[in-house]
Amino acid sequence: MKRTKLTIGTRGSELAQWQTAWIAQRLQRSFPEVSLETVVIKTTGDKILDSPLSKIGDKGLFTKEIERALLDGTIDLAVHSLKDLPTVVPQGLTIAVVTEREDVHDVFISHPGKKYPSLKEVPRNGAIATGSLRRKCQLLHHRPDIQIVDLRGSLRTRREKLEKSDWDGMVLAKAGVTRLGWTEMISEVFEPDYMLPAVGQGALAVEIRQDDRELLSILMPLNHFPTQQATSSERALLRRLEGGCQIPIGTYGRIVDGTFLLDAIVGSLDGSTIVRGSIKGSPSESESLGRQLAEELVSKGAGKILDEIRKTVKGTIHVGSSGSNV
């Protein structure tokens, strides 16, 4: 390798720092002679914390400033939670690596003073916190009697807010909780048939300049092809549905015994209506299968749901990410 130094761009949260360190450690093992520098970049989504994601739009909320630094050469590579990345990558950039997925499940975390063993034990009119419309939709579908409280901020901020509140609990992605070593907080793990995860949930993505062939070859050993196939399918579905933080979309792709399986839902904001679909086929056709399933969902009524939501949010829908709801 000709280079002696690489600069990595990342967000500043504790989880983002963990994820960047995880990538950096693996690069350092293979290339101990290369100096690695980390640059923390504050994104729009990090700055605006007093509004729900669904109210401020989602096109590159957690990536735009980092991608700008990539394009102008300030950094050489960027580490993202894949679910933060818009489905359309800016011209001149490419996703070089998708890492092996951490656990894709969402989890219920009880208020530590109430210690509910599961969401089922939360009383009627209980308060559950989440910043994700996808989670809100599925929670209300199963428990229309509960109250949803909007929750933003880093994992540590969310944990502190829960502890200081009178809420009954919150819902987070298990991947982030696991990465920070907080698994003792978990009260219940939701199976995908109860709550489908976000597009790309649990996977990391490394983004670089498209013409940086040397860096691409260096990073390739970090790529996990089965995860790349699964998440490419999920992102193709999201792209076709033109969804993001403002639309409750859940999807989960995986390879089982050599067959690619993809499940997805589109739901109304209040969880009263959910359209489900599944598809299977060859892993080599995963991206095409994602588009096919999206079309099936539209034909089954998802198109009507999406139109209604677009009217509700008054045109702030963007083809984008599933949002940084950790």
List, by residue number, the catalytic residues.
Answer: 84
DSSP states along 174-208: HHHHHHTT-GGG--EEEPTTTS---TTTT-EEEEE
DSSP 211-261: T-HHHHHHHGGG--HHHHHHHHHHHHHHHHHT-STTS-EEEEEEEETTEEE
State how far the Cα of 234 lies from the Cα of 194, in Å rounded to an integer. Answer: 18
Residue 138, burial from CB neighbour count under 10 angstroms (0-12, 13-18, 19+): buried
Give Cβ neighbours of residue 59 (< 8 Å, ≥ 6 apart): 86, 244, 318, 319, 320
Cα 90 to Cα 87, 95, 290, 304, 307, distances in angstroms: 10, 10, 21, 30, 26
8 CB neighbour count, 10 Å cutoff: 20
Asked if 210 contacts 84 with a C-beta cutoff of 8 angstroms, the reply is no
Q: Any idea what the Cα angle at residue 17 is, between residues 107 and 32, rounded to 5°?
A: 125
